[in-house]
A = this chain, B = another copy of it.
Amino acid sequence: MQLVENLIARYVRQAEPGLLTADTFALERKPLPPLREGEILIRTIYLSIDAGSRAQFDDRADYVIKAVLGKVPGSSGAVGEVVESRHRDWRSGDLLVTPHARWQLYQVAAPAAEPLLRRIDPGMGPLAMHLGALGMVGFTAYIGIFHVGRPQPGETLLVSAAAGATGALAGQFGRIAGARVVGIAGGAEKCAFVRERLGFDACIDYKAGNLDQAIRAACPQGVDVYYENVGGAIQHAAFAAMNDFGRIALCGQVGQYSGAGAQAGPNLMTAVLKRLQIQGFLAMDHLDRHATFHDSAAAWYRAGQLQHHATLTQGLENIHEAINSLMAGRNIGKQLCQVSAEPGQEFPLTAPSFTAFGPGASHR
């Protein structure tokens, strides 16, 4: 079978700072070239939505490859199903996860040239988990906790953006490491999720005011490790709460990804007096640890120690809404754009947009 037509989302109108509007992108049909030897054709099921999905349209964000007006933007990950193969190791119906995907229904890939394209064992758990707990966000949280922040049993770990994809996982890994885990999230619903579903020991609602006092109350022994994902006022408050010799794992600063520009950092005299270690990290530097991560996370998932949560926005035509959901902090867990059905699934789904996986996790 050779499919002849793809569905693409083209970047047609310069994005303004803030939330993305529907007319920024245009859905088009486009002929698909025939596969060459060694290539496979992938039907995109889930596209990963992360901070870079928005930042690629922000001229001031010099840390991502910019989307080009008139072209099809990219995503840092997708789960899909092979629908045609000219590679001897791949068959129609194989499921895979890939770190390179365009905003389109079908992707052409040459597995030999993409070492990070991996086959999914469908018995492992829900497909979306391969872009979450078992994906790059899971790997990032794993490196940040086990190799950068290194909370020890009994220490206090503070996690910002605790209801978000990476924060939710960082906190769960912190619990596995034996730390007392305190989250920071925006709003009562998210805080309840972080405490009751993720099992954090406490969660602070930063929208409720007096953050410094709330952190002191939730962390009576101070903060030994801070997993930083937001920047701005929350970052400043966390620095102020650190114990001497505390460690700060700098994962990102989602607060400045939406075109608001760079915020001032904390005065670093605090870091001198408290002898803080502040470490920026990118999971990509630690690929030699990926296999260990993947085996560990899968085992923790099977043992009921690790949950995966995702918020789905359905339809490639709604991908701007998927990004807006992340930027406005409406998502709980990993934000995804579902482009087409999982095998055996009807699409679009009639189920609600939030899904939780893992023993003890219920859907809502």
Contacts and interface: CB of A to CB of B under 8 A. Distances in A.
Contacts of A14: none
A305 interface: no
Contacts of A278: 268, 271, 276-279
Interface in A280-303: 280-282, 285
A275 B269 contact: no
Contact of A252 (B231, B262, B269): B269
Contacts of A273: 63, 280, 282
A267 B265 CA distance: 4
Given A231-B268, A253-B269, A269-B253, A280 B285 contact: no
Contacts of A266: 265, 268
Contacts of A21: none
Contacts of A264: 264-265, 267
Given A262-B269, A277-B279, 20 more contacts: A63-B273, A231-B269, A235-B268, A250-B268, A250-B272, A252-B269, A253-B268, A253-B272, A262-B267, A263-B267, A264-B264, A264-B267, A265-B265, A268-B278, A270-B280, A271-B278, A275-B282, A275-B285, A277-B280, A278-B279
A152 interface: no
A256 interface: yes
Nearest to A279: B277
B280 A275 contact: yes
A274 interface: yes
7 contacts: A231-B269, A264-B264, A265-B265, A271-B278, A277-B277, A277-B279, A278-B278
A265 B263 contact: no
A84 to B, nearest CB: 38
A263 B231 CA distance: 17
Interface residues of A, number: 31
B63 A269 contact: yes
Nearest to A262: B267
Nearest to A263: B267
A90 to B, nearest CB: 35
A271 B251 CA distance: 9
B280 A274 contact: yes
Contacts of A280: 268, 270-277
A63 B278 CA distance: 20
Nearest to A265: B265
A278 B280 CA distance: 8
A274 to B, nearest CB: 6
Given A264-B267, A267-B262, A277-B278, A272 B285 contact: no
Contacts of A256: 267, 269
Interface in A136-191: none
Contacts of A271: 250, 278-280
A269 B62 CA distance: 11
